[in-house]
Amino acid sequence: MRRYDENLLEKLYQYIIEYQRDFGSSPSFRTIMRHFPNGFSSTAKVKTHIGVLKDRGLIDSASNGSIAMDDRLKAETTFAPLVGKIICGEPAEEIASIEENIALPKNMFGSGELFTLRTYGDSMTGFGINEGDYVVIRKQNTAHNGEVVVALVDGKNTLKRLYHKGKKIILHPENEEMEDIIVKECDIQGVLVGRITLY
């Protein structure tokens, strides 16, 4: 009889429950594999361990073979379209196009008109935003000092912390190796309300 790492099984079960509670949906096998880089080297191994949890009556499978959602953990959700990429560095041109709609729990990200962007660059790593993360933005054209915003500068956008200093606008990177971007004006596209790290 094959033996399984009970500690890993427990961590896997807790991760699934926490993910469902936080996001109102179940994690995919690939998401689980990425979350446990030292535990699962393939989605096949994830599937095997999911099967163990199912056999023990801890979780159920959906009709398509994915992990069934525990109805008791479903959260009220809102949809935020993924509309492309945002650079964490020097402003760059990006063409907005809806790639998919992402369901987000309202209790974590709030209300309002939300959209998501995939990040690249490293100017916001000091704030915990790394390349490949998703940032959730509430669409608005104003922001307070210190808020992280999507700013449009000369037709190019960037993700930075916003400060007003006299008649100048400072777009501050959260990276000690990078300098502030100082402009006379910019258009605020939205304010950061959360981020999603996939790895």
The CA distance from 72 to 55, in Å, is 20
- What's this model's pTM, rounded to 2 decimal places? 0.62
pLDDT digits (tens, 9 = 90+) for 164-191: 998 999 999 999 899 999 999 999 999 9
Known catalytic residue at 54: no
- Predicted pLDDT of residue 1: 53
Q: What is the dihedral of CA 154, 160, 162, 165, to 10 degrees?
A: -70
Which residue of the set 42, 47, 123, 139 is catalytic?
Answer: 123
**Structural domains for the chain:** 6-73 (1.10.10.10), 77-196 (2.10.109.10)
Tokens 């959360």, located at residue: 194
122 Cβ neighbours under 8 A, 6+ residues apart: 88, 89, 130, 131, 175
CB 195 within 8 A of CB 184: no
Known catalytic residue at 47: no
Give the end-to-end CA distance of the chain in Å, rounded to a whole number: 33
- Predicted pLDDT of residue 132: 87
Mean pLDDT of the chain: 85
3-state DSSP assignment of residue 72: helix
What is the strand order of the sheet 114-121 is part of? 100-105, 77-88, 114-121, 134-139, 187-196, 148-153, 156-165, 168-172, 181-183
- Predicted pLDDT of residue 150: 94
Residue 22 host element (H or E): helix 6-23
pLDDT digits (tens, 9 = 90+) for 100-111: 777 777 777 877
Residue 40 has pLDDT above 80, yes or no: yes
Q: What percent of the chain has pLDDT over 90?
A: 38
Average of pLDDT values for 119-145?
91
Residue 98 has pLDDT above 60, yes or no: yes
pLDDT digits (tens, 9 = 90+) for 50-61: 999 998 888 888
97, 96, 168, 169: which is closest to 160 by C-alpha?
Answer: 169
Which residue of the set 74, 160, 167, 168 is catalytic?
Answer: 160
